[in-house]
Structure 1
Amino acid sequence: MVAEARGAGRTLAIAGAGSKAGVGQPVTADAAIASTGLAGIVEYNPEELVVVARAGTPLADIEAALAENGQALMFEPADWSRLLGSNAGQTIGGIAATNMSGPRRILAGAARDALLGVRFVNGRGEAIRNGGRVMKNVTGLDLVKLMAGSWGTLGLITEVAFKVLPRPETEVTLAVDGPGAADAAKLMARAMGTSAEVSGAANLPGPIAGRVLADGRAGRPTTLLRLEGFAVSIAERIGRLTPQLGAGHDIAQLDAAASQRAWAAIRDVAPFADGTETPVWRISAAPMAGHAVAADILGQTEGEAFFDWQGGLVWLRISGEDPQADRVRTSLAAHGGGHALLVRTGEDARARTSVFQPEPAPVAALSEKIRSSIDPDGVFNCGRRPFASVRRAA
């Protein structure tokens, strides 16, 4: 199909189940090609801690198979379908193509770190296999890492191999009342610097804390610190962690069920899943700079923000219809730089805004050389060229 399209000079829009179709500039193409027909788990041996599946396999099927064996994808893939109003399921290929990583990324790494191998069809119509099914693998050019976060601009992924790990027995989250964003960044840094193995660190301003926790915390800024593993180990680690958080804080413990609900809401950006098209930015910055970036932007426009990844991942919603890309990226650059992805906005704004972080000219030139060598005729996802910047910062 790809070879025929290339030969006829036609372009293709790659899609999975469509859960993230609203991200990026609108893709212009002569036809669509979806991976959903390529479904099914190809190989899964729990003892080897690897699952191999065709790209169109629903993520829910993967997670169900892993759960039966007490295992999980430890990078905790997010689901933006409610945020984007798509209400579509996710595919495992879409997770790989977008490098979709959740709160546990600060401890377990991103999706690309767990991606062991890929099969894909490039823009020349050639079937390519790269990587393998074990962690130690040397195959020359690491196309596996290149495909992770390429957003369908380099090829049609047909199969993926992911490393899996045992699912934590239980979890507890410490809810620390009071610290504002700047003090919370310091508190989270102290927590991550201990041996407590914190697997989630987020700061929620008062109004957002009320939406996430739903326990009367509205108006009370809250910092969440998650610990996972065996119950005995968690209790001992809490005993070591709590004194490091400083005096003067009220600290509550969320049990496993409440903790899971809270982190699912943070992972899926539930506080901003309001059924509107108001602009939502995903900003990646240095952990100690995230609060300053948000304060700078919100000092010039109305909106709200909350923080994941120890403060380094800023979810920011701007009131109104204008995403104010220049203001967002100017503020980000003023605080050390990073990456800003416009995840949600109206169709007109998507068409006229640089949704993905612009690259410096030398990097953009290198990115274009890579893309043109893999898809020389621009068959895939015309109008969307994010892969190098997304791959670096997602």
Structure 2
Amino acid sequence: MTTFTPTTSEEVLSTVAWAVAEGSPLEILGHGSKRGIGRPLQTEHTLDLSKLTGVTLYEPAELVLSAKAGTPLAEIEKLLAENGQQLAFEPMDYGPLLGGEPGKGTIGGVLGANLSGPRRLKAGAARDHILGINVVSGRGEPFKSGGRVVKNVTGYDMSKLMANSWGTLAVFTDVTFKVLPAAETEVTLALRGLLDDGAASAMALALGSSAEVSSAAHLPERVAARVADGALGSEAATLLRVEGFGPSVAYRIAALKTLLGKAGPLEEIAGEASQLIWRDVRDIRPFADGSEKPVWRVSMAPFHAHQMVLTLRMQAAVSAFYDWQGGLVWLRMEEGDPEAALLRGLLRKHGGGHATLVRAAPAHRAALAVFEPQPPALAALSQRLKQEFDPKNILNPGRMA
């Protein structure tokens, strides 16, 4: 096996062009923090972008940052924090869940996997903040889309098209994101002891209010003990995050207390303690146990989520917790079988949704559809896109389908 480690976009281009000419597929890799997601690849060569690093443009006053694709996300977040700014979509770190080190994800991987975190309710995902890209297609051709200002899109928005493509359409060499000021104050209101159905109702009530809740999650009994180094204890915790200027946050927290006062015991968590809780929710720390027990990422309508989980628990041993007001459900299958047919069948019965197998033994990943199977019309469109951008199936072949 040959590993190519380009340091410039020109070297990326020459490597992909060589692979196309030779008909030799490439595994596209940053630091490998998400390598375990998708079907296992059988490629002879690897294109390692970990040396393609560096922030190429940062203008805090213009709220814009450009960086080479292999730049560590941790490095970018540190730079932004020093200037009181952030990537508002709060990209998650899959490293700990998949048995790797935290902080190894790259900015190119953020867009390739369309990452987001608990703030997605308010801020969206990576695709909603991308301004421009420079890439090399699977034809061995360079192209760029977008630019370095917010209003720059004419014709097709290729930047958004590349989001969630997992390296199967093109290789990123440089990406440009919109950045935003970080919140001055952060406070989390925790309701304790609610069951899943009560938590769903409480989160819906809070999100429907004028309190501008930026994140809403529910950690059932015992799951809560696995975040923030156990600071929450084992009792179920329904978490509502409010961010902004200090007086505004205080007013909105008071309004939430009045609104939810009868739902159960309330607890305020502020500052770094709040940040730690949401970072652990973001990075699926409750299930980052060093095992290969299958973990599913399920996206569905919040109203149906707890009902689906209840039905699933009647047929399989499963642990669960909820983010995005219940619109994102993390499931760990405790007996080692992913139960893919059962889970996807229940999704169809409970309003539909998408289930992605984000952790499993290689044998399970090879045998199952890791990503949600697409309806025939959408699958045909995806195949036409693949044919247009990577006709020889050079880039991450078979990872998604």
Normalising by the residue count of structure 1, what TM-score does the alignment of the two structures yield?
0.95
Q: CA deviation at 1:30?
A: 2.3
Q: In the alignment, which of 192, 195, 217 is matched to residue 233 of structure 2?
A: 217
User: Are 2:70 and 1:70 equivalent residues in the alignment?
Assistant: no
Give the letter for the 2:29 counterpart.
Answer: A
User: Are 2:255 and 1:240 equivalent residues in the alignment?
Assistant: yes
Q: In the alignment, which of 264, 268, 271 is matched to residue 283 of structure 2?
A: 268
- Residue number in structure 1 paired with 2:145: 130
Give the letter for the 1:56 counterpart.
Answer: G
- Residue number in structure 2 paired with 1:24: 38
- Residue number in structure 1 paired with 2:355: 340
Q: CA deviation at 1:245?
A: 2.0
Give the letter for the 1:38 counterpart.
Answer: L
Equivalent-residue separation in structure 2 for 1:86 and 1:360 (angstroms):
34
Q: CA deviation at 1:241?
A: 2.0
- Residue number in structure 2 paired with 1:13: 27
Equivalent-residue separation in structure 2 for 1:48 and 1:302 (angstroms):
50
| SS class of match (2:233) | coil
Q: CA deviation at 1:179?
A: 1.9
Q: Please say if residues 83 and 270 of structure 1, whose CA atoms lie closer than 8 Å, have aligned partners that are also in contact.
A: yes
Render the CA deviation track for 1:277-330: whole Å, top value 9, x for unaligned: 000000000111111221222210002100000001000000122111101111
Runs of 4+ in 1 over 3 A off after TM superposition: none
Equivalent-residue separation in structure 2 for 1:108 and 1:360 (angstroms):
28
Q: Please say if residues 189 and 239 of structure 2, whose CA atoms lie closer than 8 Å, have aligned partners that are also in contact.
A: yes
Q: Please say if residues 291 and 311 of structure 1, whose CA atoms lie closer than 8 Å, have aligned partners that are also in contact.
A: yes
Equivalent-residue separation in structure 2 for 1:289 and 1:153 (angstroms):
32
The within-5 A match list for 1:107-122 is: 107-122=122-137
Q: CA deviation at 1:72?
A: 0.3
Equivalent-residue separation in structure 1 for 2:226 and 2:50 (angstroms):
34
Q: CA deviation at 1:244?
A: 2.0
- Residue number in structure 1 paired with 2:332: 317
Give the letter for the 2:172 counterpart.
Answer: I
Give the letter for the 1:187 counterpart.
Answer: A
Give the letter for the 2:274 counterpart.
Answer: S
Normalising by the residue count of structure 2, what TM-score does the alignment of the two structures yield?
0.94
| SS class of match (1:120) | strand
- May I ask how many residue pairs the two structures share in their alignment? 385
- Residue number in structure 2 paired with 1:87: 101
Identity, in percent, stands at 50
- Residue number in structure 1 paired with 2:208: 193
| SS class of match (1:17) | coil
Give the letter for the 1:250 counterpart.
Answer: P
- Residue number in structure 2 paired with 1:377: 392
Equivalent-residue separation in structure 2 for 1:186 and 1:216 (angstroms):
21
Q: CA deviation at 1:246?
A: 5.0
Distance 1:355 1:311, change over 3 A: same
Gap regions ≥5 residues in structure 1: 387-394
Q: Please say if residues 223 and 321 of structure 2, whose CA atoms lie closer than 8 Å, have aligned partners that are also in contact.
A: yes
Q: Please say if residues 27 and 43 of structure 2, whose CA atoms lie closer than 8 Å, have aligned partners that are also in contact.
A: yes
